[in-house]
Structure 1
Amino acid sequence: MEPILLYGFPLGSSMGLVAALEWLGQPYRLSRVDMLGEMREPSYARLNARHETPVIITEEGRPLTETMAIAAWLEARDIERRISFAPGSPEADRMHQIMAFVNTGFTGAFSPLWVALETEDPDPELKARLRKFGQERVIERHDKLEAMIGDAPFLVGDRPTLADGVLIGVARWLEFHEVAEPDRWPRLEALRRRIEADPAVRFATAIENGETPVGSGALRGQLPLAEVIEKFGV
Structure 2
Amino acid sequence: MGFTVYGAAGSGSVPVEAVLTLVGAPHRVVEAATWEGEAERDKVAGANPMRQIPALITPEGETITESAAILLWLTERFPEAGLAPPPGDPRRGQFLRWMSFIPASIYSMYWVRDEPGRLVGDDATAQATVLERTADRIAHCWSVMEAQVTPGRFLMGEDLTVLDLYVAVVSRWRPLRSRFHAVAPRMGEVVRRVDALPDLQAFWAERFPFEGDYAGPFVMSPP
Could you say whether these structures have the same fold, taking a TM-score greater than 0.5 normalized by the shorter chain as the test? yes
Determine what percentage of the aligned residue pairs are the same residue: 24
Residue 173 (str. 1) matches residue 173 (str. 2): yes
1:46 is matched with which residue?
Answer: 46
Structure 2: how far apart are the matches of 1:56 and 1:77? 13
2:32 is matched with which residue?
Answer: 33
Q: Give TM-score scaled by structure 1 length.
A: 0.76
Structure 2 CA distance for partners of 1:168 and 1:111, relative to 1, 3 Å = same
> What is the CA-CA distance between 1:48 and the residue it aligns to?
0.9
Greater RCO structure (CA 8 Å; 6+ sep): 1
> What is the CA-CA distance between 1:118 and the residue it aligns to?
8.4
Structure 2 CA distance for partners of 1:172 and 1:209, relative to 1, 3 Å = closer
Residue 8 (str. 1) matches residue 8 (str. 2): yes
Q: How many residues align?
A: 207
> What is the CA-CA distance between 1:162 and the residue it aligns to?
1.0
Q: Render the CA deviation track for 1:65-113: whole Å, top value 9, x for unaligned.
A: 1112212320221231431232231223322121111121122244443
Q: Render the CA deviation track for 1:140-177: whole Å, top value 9, x for unaligned.
A: 1011121133140111122321111222221111345x
Residue identity matched to 2:40: M
Runs of 4+ in 1 over 6 A off after TM superposition: 117-120
Residue identity matched to 1:173: W
Aligned to 2:7, the other structure's residue is in SS state: strand
Aligned to 2:169, the other structure's residue is in SS state: helix
Residue identity matched to 1:95: F
2:91 is matched with which residue?
Answer: 91
Structure 1: how far apart are the matches of 2:8 and 2:154? 25
Q: Give TM-score scaled by structure 2 length.
A: 0.79
Calculate the aligned-residue CA RMSD, in Å: 2.7
Structure 2 CA distance for partners of 1:209 and 1:142, relative to 1, 3 Å = closer
Asked whether the equivalents of residues 135 and 174 of structure 2 are also in contact (C-alpha less than 8 Å), the reply is no
Structure 1 residues without counterparts, runs of 5 or longer: 211-234
Residue identity matched to 1:40: R
Structure 2 residues without counterparts, runs of 5 or longer: 210-223
Aligned to 1:5, the other structure's residue is in SS state: strand
